[in-house]
Amino acid sequence: MQVRESKVSRETKETNIHIDLKLDGKGTSQVATGIPFFDHMLQAMTRHGRFDLEVRATGDLEVDTHHTVEDVGIVLGTAVRQAVGEGVGIRRFGHAIVPMDEALATVALDLGGRGYLVFAGTFHGRRLGNMDVDIFEHFFHSLTARAGITAHISFSGRNDHHQCEAVFKAFGIALGDAAAASGNTGVPSTKGTF
């Protein structure tokens, strides 16, 4: 099995992102994006996914959070793709159902190389912390497109914080399970490749 970690950086006129990802980790994270609620979500995803993640991000937060969140998704997706490599020996599929009080999130994903997102759920307010709630779907779209992940994310509940946190935890669990070593020596595809 190939090295299951990656380091990816991306600098634009709007953001500067550095990510260090280790798929075979313990759920530890060091996350600093300048957006406290987003940091909290990434830490929850990492903890429950049982991979290690370091994120250092600066961006034009004086404009809003959009560019920083989007670019973290792009760089994290690239890091996942690099760490998974050709997919040799991974489980490929992962899923999780996570309750958080009245909220419930379900995530099913496929690391098979095709980026596609279904995001089904409704937030009740317009913002969480200093973030517009529509940025969460955009984050997962950026991540899955770059990583080559097909992901179906659905959620319900009354409290937006609970809904969002349940989604990030479920995504982490599903990603950790899909990327886990299966014990097989080939690519989990009838094609023989992703």
Angle between helices 160-179 and 134-147 (to 10 degrees): 10
The amino acid at residue 28 is: T
Which pLDDT tens digit goes with each residue over 1-45? 456 899 999 999 999 999 999 999 999 999 999 999 999 999 999
Structural domains of the chain, ranges and CATH numbers in brackets:
5-179 (3.30.230.40)
pTM of the full predicted structure? 0.93
Which pLDDT tens digit goes with each residue over 126-168? 999 899 999 999 999 999 999 999 999 999 999 999 999 999 9
Average pLDDT over residues 71-99: 94
